[in-house]
Structure formats: C-alpha cells, structure tokens
C-alpha cells in the first residue's frame, strides 16, 4: 500500500484580495451612507447570508422556464413580472449593481476555493470571514478619515503636504 501525502489546498490569494477590497469598499460606502449601528448589524447579517449563499447555492437558483410557457396565462404572468422587475431594477440600478459586484466577488472566491480542493463548509467560513474583515476595514478606514486621531504626526494630514508643496513652489 502506498502512503500518499496530501498537501494542504492551495489558497487563491488574488481572489481573496479582490474579495477583501470589494467588501472594504462596501464598508467605506456603508459608513458614508449611515452611521446607524442597527443598519450596520443588518448589513453584517446580510453579508453572512450572502457568504452562505455563494458557498452553498441551492438547486432553486437554476430556474428553467421551459414548462412555464405552456399556457398563455403563464406567459402573460411571466411577462408582467419581468416588466415589474425591470422597472425596479432600473429605479434602483446603483443598489442592484453594488449587490451584483458583492455577489460576483464572493462567487469568484467560492469557485477558486472549490477548484483548489477546499471543502464547502471550510470555504463558507473563509468567505464569510474575509467578507466581514473587508467590511470592518472599510468602516474603520472611513471612520479614521472622518475622525482622525489627535496625536498623529503632522505628515498624516493633507494640510501638511499642501503647505510643503506651497513652500517648495511646486
């Protein structure tokens, strides 16, 4: 019997960095939209649900409309629902685009982790962890930008650099 040594699965650092950057941007924007902590907690819950969704997509996601067009009434209902959905999509286009970008970054990491041999449950925890880390980094970075600490050296502030450029006449 041969002894096989199993190597640990490869970590897709590029897609994880993209996921972190995407959710850091989301955290930055979330702090700019509201400072209500209950909305932040709801966003954390939504991020965790999204991480679970991209890790464990259900069979109900793949819809087949082949049998739905058998009668004219069903086709009419589908057309009405599609038109209402498109109006909602166009009305809230920025929200839709932000959600698609967040889902796409999570799906990319999920596919990379599964292709590298990670188990689904481990991939889900890695994705949720990186999503929450990125969101926290974005929230904290925007907080530091709006409320900088008092005891930082002068070169951390933009006024220092503008006065330096003015003195150097650049």
**28 vs 39: CA distance, rounded Å:** 14
Residue 8 placed within a domain: no
DSSP 157: S
Residue 2 placed within a domain: no
Residue 79 placed within a domain: yes
pLDDT digits 0-9 by tens, 24-43: 999 999 998 888 888 889 99
* pLDDT score of 24: 95
Domains contained in the chain, number: 1
Residue 122 placed within a domain: yes
pLDDT digits 0-9 by tens, 65-86: 455 556 667 777 878 888 888 8
State the residue range of the domain holding 78.
Answer: 13-58+66-168
**44 vs 36: CA distance, rounded Å:** 13
Percentage of the chain surpassing pLDDT 70?
85
Place of tokens 């002894």: 3
The pTM (predicted TM-score) of the whole model is 0.71
Question: Phi-psi category of 138—alpha, beta or left, where left has phi over 0 and alpha has psi -120 to 50?
Answer: alpha
């Amino acid at each position: 019997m041969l002894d096989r040594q199993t190597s640990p699965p490869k970590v897709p650092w590029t897609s994880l960095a993209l996921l972190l950057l995407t959710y850091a941007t989301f955290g930055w924007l979330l702090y700019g939209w509201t400072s209500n902590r209950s909305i932040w907690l709801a966003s954390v819950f939504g991020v965790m649900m999204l991480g679970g969704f991209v890790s464990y997509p259900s069979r109900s996601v793949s819809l087949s409309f082949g049998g739905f067009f058998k009668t004219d009434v069903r086709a009419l209902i589908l057309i009405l629902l599609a038109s209402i959905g498109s109006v909602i999509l166009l009305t809230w286009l920025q929200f839709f685009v932000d959600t698609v970008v967040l889902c796409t970054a999570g799906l990319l990491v999920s596919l990379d982790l599964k292709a590298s041999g990670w188990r689904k449950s481990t991939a889900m925890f890695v994705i949720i962890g990186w999503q929450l880390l990125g969101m926290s980094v974005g929230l904290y970075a925007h907080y530091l930008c709006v409320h900088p600490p008092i005891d930082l050296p002068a070169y951390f502030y933009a006024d220092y650099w503008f006065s330096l450029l003015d003195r150097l006449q650049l």
